Amino acid sequence: MTERITIIGSGPAGWTAAIYAARANLEPLMYEGAFTEDNRLKGTLPLGQLALTTEVENYPGFPSGNLAAYMDDAIDESKRKYMAPHAGEGVSGPELMELMRQQATNFGTRIKTDDIVEVDFSSRPFKLKSLAGDEFESHAVIIATGARANYLGLESESRFKNAGVSACAVCDGAMPRYRDKPLVVIGGGDSAMEEANFLTKYASRVYIVHRRDSFRASKIMADRALANPKIDVKWNSVIEEVLGDDENGVTGVRIKNTETDSTEDLEVTGYFAAIGHTPNTDFLGGQLETNDKGYLIWPVSHRTNTSVEGVFAAGDVADDHYRQAVTAAGSGCAAALDAEKWLVAQGLD
The site for ligand NAP (CB under 6 A) is made up of 58, 152, 187-192, 194, 211-212, 216, 274-277, 323
Q: How far is the CB of 243 from ligand NAP (least distance, A)?
A: 18
- State the DSSP H helix or E strand holding residue 42, giving kind and residue range, or none if neither: helix 37-42
Distance in angstroms (rounded) separating the CA atoms of residues 150 and 140: 30
- Rounded to 5, what percent of the chain is helix, strand, coil? 30, 25, 45
Given a contact cutoff of 8 angstroms between Cβ atoms, the answer to whether 184 and 167 are in contact is no
Q: Pick between residue 23 and residue 211 the one whose CB is nearest to ligand NAP.
A: 211
CA angle 21, 300, 303 (to 5 degrees): 25
Q: How far is the CB of 220 from ligand NAP (least distance, A)?
A: 9
What are 232's strand-pairing partners?
Answer: 207
- Nearest-CB residue for ligand NAP: 189
Q: Pick between residue 46 and residue 189 the one whose CB is nearest to ligand NAP.
A: 189
Q: Pick between residue 93 and residue 182 the one whose CB is nearest to ligand NAP.
A: 93
Distance in angstroms (rounded) separating the CA atoms of residues 336 and 330: 10
Q: Pick between residue 217 and residue 284 the one whose CB is nearest to ligand NAP.
A: 217
Q: Pick between residue 190 and residue 340 the one whose CB is nearest to ligand NAP.
A: 190
Distance in angstroms (rounded) separating the CA atoms of residues 276 and 148: 8
Catalytic residue ranges: 168, 171-172
Q: How far is the CB of 320 from ligand NAP (least distance, A)?
A: 9
State whether the Cα torsion 18-27-123-32 is positive or negative: positive
Q: Which residues contact 109 (CB under 8 A, 6 or more apart)?
A: 7, 18, 19, 21, 22, 28, 29, 30
